[in-house]
Amino acid sequence: MNWVWFHRLASPPSFFALAERLSPWVLAAAIPLLLYGVVGGLWLAPADYQQGDAFRIIYVHVPAAWLSLFGYTAMALAAIVAVIWRMKIAECAVVAIAPVGASFTALALMTGMLWGKPMWGAYWAWDARLTSELVLLFLYLGVIGLQQAVADSRAAARAAGLLAIVGVINVPIVHYSVEWWNSLHQGSTVSKIGKPSISANMAWPLLSMTLGFMLFFGWTILRRIQAELLWRERGTRWVRERFVSLPEMSGD
């Protein structure tokens, strides 16, 4: 197997250039998907026969919850690569994903609480899904805290990466908590095997929002990795040559 592409991608200048080319296209694809999801979810989709218009929070809550799991899984995979192969790009990915993933997790929790009030009569219940999602937020914050606590950036990334790898066990717990325990949280409606229990005119805006959130998540991560690379590589020749008009980035 030819691994030239892998080594080329691991090169900071090559990855930076690739991210620079991809980022505008990713953002351009995300915007119309998000616009359609907002219009379709808030105006075109009919009210739910049981929950009324309160169900519309699903168009933010579900994509945010899904990305909280996806982000942590991606961070853990990047951490594995960083710990085993000591790849700087992977270390930067761990640093970049943690705050973004934490933000989506917090958004999922907040929208879940707002949705829970009219449905359950309370903003919070120590439900299996809610509790495991809260643990996920704490894991994200732990990774961020370790990154900030260690002065050396590479040592910090490795320490944070180890926590990310250990904490990934919580991802399947969050996902399957509704099935494993007697949960107040409703089960899957779109991705379950068989016929989805959501109508098409409700499902299409939800799928559009989810894909739009994913692309926005990807765009944010690419930009954050670029920023982290520039900081770590600020004393290298390729950064000086690329940003010749920025003498303050020439290194310490």
Between residues 150 and 211, the one the model is more confident about = 211
Question: Between these two residues, 52 and 24, which has the higher pLDDT value?
Answer: 24
Q: Is residue 7 part of a domain?
A: no
pTM for the predicted model, two decimal places: 0.87
Task: Confirm whether 8 is domain-assigned.
Answer: no
> Domain count of the chain?
1
Q: What is the mean pLDDT of residues 230-248?
A: 79
> What pLDDT is attached to residue 249?
45
Contact of 68 with 105, CB cutoff 8 Å: yes
Confidence band (pLDDT; 50, 70, 90) for 251? very low
What is the chain's mean pLDDT, rounded? 86
Tens of pLDDT, residues 214-235: 999 999 999 999 999 999 998 8
Domain assignment of residue 24, given as a range: 13-185+196-249
**Structure tokens belonging to residue 134:** 């809260």
Query: Which among 62, 56, 63, 4 is positioned nearest to 30, based on CA atoms?
Result: 63
Pick from 96, 224, 69, 103: which is nearest to 160 by CA?
96
User: Does position 5 have pLDDT exceeding 70, yes or no?
Assistant: no
For range 32-45, the mean pLDDT: 93
pLDDT at residue 7, as a whole number: 64
Q: What is the pLDDT of residue 4?
A: 60
- Residue 4 located in a structural domain: no
Distances in whole angstroms, Cα of residue 142 to Cα of each of 132, 137, 138, 165, 180: 15, 9, 6, 12, 26
Give yes or no for residue 188 having a pLDDT over 60.
no
- Asked whether residue 92 is domain-assigned, the answer is yes
Classify residue 3: in a domain, yes or no.
no
pLDDT of 92 over the 80 cut: yes
Among residues 93, 59, 63, the alpha carbon closest in space to that of 161 is found at: 93
Give every CB contact of residue 180 below 8 A, 6+ residues apart in sequence: 128, 173
Q: Are 11 and 3 in contact (CB under 8 A)?
A: no
Going by pLDDT thresholds of 50, 70 and 90, the confidence category of residue 44 is confident
pLDDT at 192 over 50: no
Q: Determine the 3-state secondary structure of 78 from DSSP.
A: helix
pLDDT of residue 252: 45
Mean pLDDT computed over 49-59 = 82
Taking 60 as the threshold, does the pLDDT of residue 187 lie above it? Answer: no
Find the helix or strand (DSSP H, E) in which 71 lies.
helix 58-85
In a domain, 233, yes or no: yes
In angstroms, the CA 80 to CA 162 distance is 8
